[in-house]
């Protein structure tokens, strides 16, 4: 009976996601997703997910109420506008007891996380969830310096483990998937010559994420070294701030090819651009074990705790696998 209910629930959840157009399933066209090339600043990379409530705003057509109107007609308009403003404010005001949960998420999660939050908030309409995307290493530094995040989803589980060692977490680190690395290009088919595609004379620039703080950049370097290619192509490397920026370089033509996350290769924008990819074998680099943790800032935040618990459910796991994350 439980198995049947789970199947029905999974089918309902996946009604939000489009059918797969490749061997690997494709992501949902989430309206909240942002362009790849934006820098990982809170202003640029913040995605607020609707949850049935909005913060109070001032309507654009509000008539200023300071000073007396010049005529009876104006007085009527001002009175009507004032009533409308009050009514709208009453409808949109978030109760003072509501506490927003803020997630710091690795850039490879952009499409998967947007869909996870959409499905979670549909089942929990009172939840307030905000997500900011960037590189895992940068988030690790920010959290260490006191950044007010509630949950940290890292492309390398070692970062949240180190935060736990520093007593900056309130939960154990839990794995949510294993990232996969691919060669992606708009101009060549990497599946023909595989890693030797990088030696093609037409390949002038190769995009990788910054290995100083981006786990996918570290695994890209390991893969190049595994195939004895690093010294041969190092002068062609173009460094992206995070894996999303790296994908943007390859998509825009700023690079001829990129070593990027499978989850981004399956994204609507990269699929629509007509690129092709080849999955780099897992033995070519260390595993991209990805994990999350509740941070100290999440104490007393019911939405953060509920979302963290939900991520470990079969439904959430299935969604992550849909977006190219191997089961951990």
Give the Å distances, CA to CA, from 192 to 197, 198, 199, 200, 264.
Answer: 8, 11, 13, 12, 21
Q: What is the CATH number of domain 2-53+96-178+289-322?
A: 3.40.190.10
- pLDDT, average across residues 103-125: 96
Residue 170 contacts residue 296 (beta carbons within 8 Å): yes
3-state helix, strand, coil in the chain (%, to 5): 45, 20, 40
Q: Do domains 2-53+96-178+289-322 and 181-284 have the same CATH topology?
A: yes
Give me the mean pLDDT over the 43-49 stretch. 36
pLDDT > 70: percent of the chain: 70
pLDDT of 31 strictly over 70 = no
pLDDT at 98: 64
State pLDDT tens for residues 210-230.
Answer: 999 999 999 999 999 999 999
| Domain assignments of the chain as residue spans, ordered by start | 2-53+96-178+289-322, 181-284
How much of the chain exceeds pLDDT 90, in percent?
67
Q: What is the pTM of this model?
A: 0.71
- State the CATH architecture for 181-284: 3-Layer(aba) Sandwich (3.40)
Q: Which residues contact 300 (CB under 8 A, 6 or more apart)?
A: 99
**128-147: pLDDT as tens digits:** 999 999 999 999 999 999 99
Does residue 82 have a pLDDT over 50? no
Residue 100 has pLDDT above 90, yes or no: yes
């Amino acid at each position: 009976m439980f198995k049947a209910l789970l199947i029905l629930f999974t089918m309902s959840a996946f009604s939000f996601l489009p059918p797969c157009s490749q061997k690997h399933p494709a992501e949902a066209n989430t309206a909240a997703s942002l362009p790849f090339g934006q820098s990982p600043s809170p202003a640029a990379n913040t995605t607020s997910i609707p949850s049935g409530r909005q913060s109070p705003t001032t309507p654009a057509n509000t008539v200023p109420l300071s000073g007396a109107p010049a005529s009876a007609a104006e007085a009527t308009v001002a009175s009507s506008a004032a009533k409308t403003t009050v009514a709208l404010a009453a409808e949109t005001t978030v109760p003072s007891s509501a506490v927003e949960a803020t997630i710091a998420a690795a850039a490879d999660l952009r499409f998967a996380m947007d869909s996870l939050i959409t499905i979670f908030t549909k089942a929990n309409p009172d939840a307030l969830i905000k997500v900011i995307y960037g590189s895992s290493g940068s988030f690790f530094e920010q959290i260490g310096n006191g950044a007010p995040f509630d949950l940290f989803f890292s492309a390398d589980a070692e970062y949240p483990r180190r935060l736990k060692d520093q007593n900056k977490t309130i939960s154990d680190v839990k794995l949510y998937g294993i990232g996969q690395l691919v060669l992606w290009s708009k101009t060549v088919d990497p599946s023909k010559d595989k890693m030797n595609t990088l030696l093609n004379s037409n390949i002038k620039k190769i995009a990788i994420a910054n290995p100083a703080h981006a786990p996918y950049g570290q695994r890209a370097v390991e893969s190049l070294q595994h195939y004895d290619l690093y010294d041969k192509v190092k002068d062609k490397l173009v460094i992206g701030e995070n894996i999303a920026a790296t994908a943007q370089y390859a998509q825009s033509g700023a690079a001829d090819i990129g070593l990027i996350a499978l989850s981004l290769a399956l994204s609507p924008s990269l699929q629509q651009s007509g690129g092709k990819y080849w999955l780099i074998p897992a033995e070519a680099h260390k595993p991209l074990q990805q994990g999350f943790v509740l941070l100290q800032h999440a104490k007393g935040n019911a939405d953060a705790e509920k979302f963290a618990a939900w991520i470990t459910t079969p439904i959430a796991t299935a969604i992550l696998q849909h977006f190219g994350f191997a089961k951990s």
